[in-house]
Amino acid sequence: MITPSRREFLAATAIASLAPAARAAAPKLSVATFTEEVTPPIGHACMGGGIAPVREVVDPLFAHGFVLTGAGDPIALVAVDWCEIRNDAYDRWRDAVAEAVGTKRQHVLVTALHQHDAPVADLAAQQLLDEAKARGSICDVEFHEKTVRRVAKAAKAAMARARRVTHVGTGQAKVEKVASNRRYTDESDRVRFDRTSATRDPKARAADGGLIDPYLKTLSLWDGDRPVVAVSAYATHPMSFYGKGGVSADFVGLARKLRQADEPQTHQLYVSGCSGNVTAGKYNDGSPDNRLALAKRLHDAMREAWKNTTREPIAACSFRSVPLELPVRSGVGFTEADLTKRLKDDPKPFGQCLAALGLSWRKRVAAGRPIDVVAIDFGGPALLLLPAEAYVEYQLMAQAARPKGFVVTAGYGECGPGYIPTEKAWKENDGNLADWCWVDPGCEEKMKRAIEGVLKVE
User: DSSP string of 240-265?
Assistant: SS--SSEE--HHHHHHHHHHHHH-TT
User: Mind listing the pLDDT tens digit for each residue in 147-182?
Assistant: 999 999 999 999 999 999 999 999 999 999 999 999
In a domain, 103, yes or no: yes
Task: Say how far apart CA 156 and CA 242 lie, in whole Å.
Answer: 34
Q: Under a CB-based contact definition with an 8 Å cutoff, are residues 440 and 327 in contact?
A: yes
129 Cβ contact list (under 8 Å, min separation 6): 136, 137, 138, 343, 352, 353, 356
234-256 pLDDT, tens digit per residue, is 999 999 999 999 999 999 999 99
Residues in Cβ contact with 226 at an 8 Å cutoff, skipping those fewer than 6 apart: 265
Number of residues that make up the chain: 458
pLDDT, residue 25, reads: 59
State the pTM of this model.
Answer: 0.93
Q: Is residue 23 part of a domain?
A: no
pLDDT of residue 152: 98
Domain count, the chain: 1
Residue type at 147?
A: T
Residue 408's Cα: distance from chain center in Å? 10
- Residues in contact with 167: Cβ distance below 8 Å, sequence separation at least 6, in sequence order: 221, 222, 223, 224, 311, 312, 313, 314
Q: Give, for 20, the enclosing helix (H) or strand (E).
A: helix 4-25
**Residue 79 pLDDT greater than 90, yes or no:** yes
CA distance 266 to 363: 41
Residue ranges making up the domain that contains 115: 29-455
pLDDT at 26: 75
pLDDT beyond 80 at 349: yes
The reply to whether 36 falls in a domain is: yes
Quote the percentage of the chain above a pLDDT of 90.
Answer: 93
Evaluate whether 75 touches 107 at the Cβ level (below 8 Å): yes
Residue 13 located in a structural domain: no
Task: Reply yes or no on whether the pLDDT at 16 is more than 60.
Answer: no
Residue 154 domain flag: yes
Give the Cβ contact number of residue 101 at 10 Å: 23
Confidence of residue 457 (pLDDT cuts 50, 70, 90): confident
Cα distances from 439 to residues 289, 310, 413, 454, in angstroms, run: 37, 40, 16, 22
- Band of residue 211 on the pLDDT scale cut at 50, 70, 90: very high
User: How does pLDDT run across 293-348, given as a tens digit for each residue?
Assistant: 999 999 999 999 999 999 999 999 999 999 999 999 999 999 999 999 999 999 99
Instruction: Give one DSSP letter per residue of 266-286, joined into a string.
Output: SEEEEEE-S-TTEESGGG--S
Summarize the confidence of residues 55-63 as an average pLDDT.
98
